[in-house]
Amino acid sequence: MTEIVDERPLIVGPEIVQNPYPIYLKGLVTKGFGRGSKDLGIPTANLPEVVAAEAQKVLKTGIYYGWASVGDDLQVYPMGTTKFLH
């Protein structure tokens, strides 16, 4: 029988950041479809497609996490995003 481990490691993968990471994105927050906030109760901040297109050049399909700040607010928030192969 397989043992279930409750604790997950904080870092999965290489201990040293490798290319192409970290990736920095910057752009004006744009209006989305409203599904995240309304349907899921999760606040969202959408970036223009041209900004996301730059990241898609180096990212594989997957689910990514990171940190974000908005405007002059110095607070840094955890965030997640997906990248789908089109």
For residue 63, what pLDDT is reported? 80
CB 75 within 8 A of CB 58: no
Given this model, what pLDDT does residue 84 score? 56
The ranges assigned to domains in the chain are: 35-83
Amino acid identity of residue 53, one-letter, is: A
pTM exceeds 0.85, yes or no: no
Per-residue pLDDT at 5: 65
Q: pLDDT truncated to tens, each residue of the chain (86 aa)?
A: 667 767 777 767 788 888 888 888 888 888 877 777 777 777 777 888 888 888 888 888 888 888 888 888 889 888 877 765 44
With beta carbons less than 8 A apart as the criterion, state whether 48 and 27 touch: yes
